[in-house]
Structure 1
Amino acid sequence: MSAPNRTRTQAESATQQWAFGLTAFAGVMLLITGLLSIFRGIMAIAQDDVFVTTPNYVFKFDLTSWGWIHLALGVIATIVSFGLFQPAMWARVAGVAIAALVIIANFLSLPYYPVWSVVMITVSGFIIWALCVVRRDDSAVSP
């Protein structure tokens, strides 16, 4: 193998490893986000007094309703995270979609659990970023 071909093969290999690393990062973070959303949902369904109640909030739902929303999002996120450990385009698209829904749900439930909602929004933003910088052919987008 000639030197230019070897260099290109090494660069492609490094790029593929970078892409795999980002997808694995997104999968692990989506799994953690899903599990924490499940726990948050169970907590809101079982004990409403854990959360702060805000009067006159525009998006006010019963805390049990927010619990079911977070529980459902957590279960879906956990399932999708396992698909991210395989090179599946559906899992990347679903991962971006579920992370976006997690951001929206946490934004709307911000007054009930503010610090945790901001943390979940940030983590979900990183998940979306990690899934979007990988090209369809599983090579990382070069800057």
Structure 2
Amino acid sequence: MTASRISNTTGWLSFAGVVAFVVGVFNVMDGLVALFRNDYYQVTSQDILVFNFTAWGWIWLILGLAQIAIGAGLLAEQSWARTAGVAMAVLVAIGQLAFLRAFPVWSVLVIAMCVLLVYALTAHPRTRAYPEA
């Protein structure tokens, strides 16, 4: 019989790890589309708040890869990943606001997932109100 390892991860942290991984994949997809298919978006690069599609492609690619790493770190119960996850989720949500004009539905979806991610990372796990006697 093998000894099982008891995990300190709450359901919220596991959820946050999965959401961070999914948002990271979404951002990588966004970055690759912006890099290789500028005509995919219905607006010109002048209609975006800042930068052009090539710059946004690299930004989303780098942020997406970082979020995938953070998601893996959260699932592996790394302490650094919780703080990095909150910071990255806020940064990505702000970036999606700037990219909103290019693909509004996608941006709103990613912003909503970032808000969920911040909540999942900052929610306190349930504790007992009274210690056992």
Q: Same fold (TM over 0.5)?
A: yes
Q: Which moved more, 1:107-116 or 1:49-58?
A: 49-58
Residue 94 of structure 1: which of 67, 84, 98 is its match?
A: 84
Query: % of aligned pairs identical?
Result: 34
Task: Report what 2:96 is aligned to.
Answer: 106
- Aligned pair count? 122
> Is residue 48–residue 98 contact of structure 2 (8 Å, CA) maintained in 1?
no
Equivalent residue letter for 1:119: L
Normalized per residue, the structure richer in helix is 1
Task: Report what 2:105 is aligned to.
Answer: 115
Equivalent residue letter for 1:129: Y
- After TM superposition, the score normalised by the length of structure 1 is 0.77
Does residue 53 in structure 1 map to residue 43 in structure 2? yes
Equivalent residue letter for 1:27: G
Equivalent residue letter for 1:81: G
Task: Report what 1:62 is aligned to.
Answer: 52
Unmatched tracts of structure 2, length 5 or more? 1-6, 129-133
> Is residue 41–residue 69 contact of structure 1 (8 Å, CA) maintained in 2?
yes
Q: Distance in 1 between matches of 2:117 and 2:91?
A: 12
Equivalent residue letter for 2:26: L
Unmatched tracts of structure 1, length 5 or more? 1-15
Equivalent residue letter for 1:53: V
Runs of 4+ in 1 over 2 A off after TM superposition: 54-60, 86-89, 139-142
> Is residue 71–residue 81 contact of structure 2 (8 Å, CA) maintained in 1?
yes
- In angstroms, what is the RMSD of aligned CA positions? 2.2
Residue 77 of structure 1: which of 60, 67, 74 is its match?
A: 67
Q: Distance in 2 between matches of 1:46 and 1:141?
A: 49
Does residue 128 in structure 1 map to residue 118 in structure 2? yes
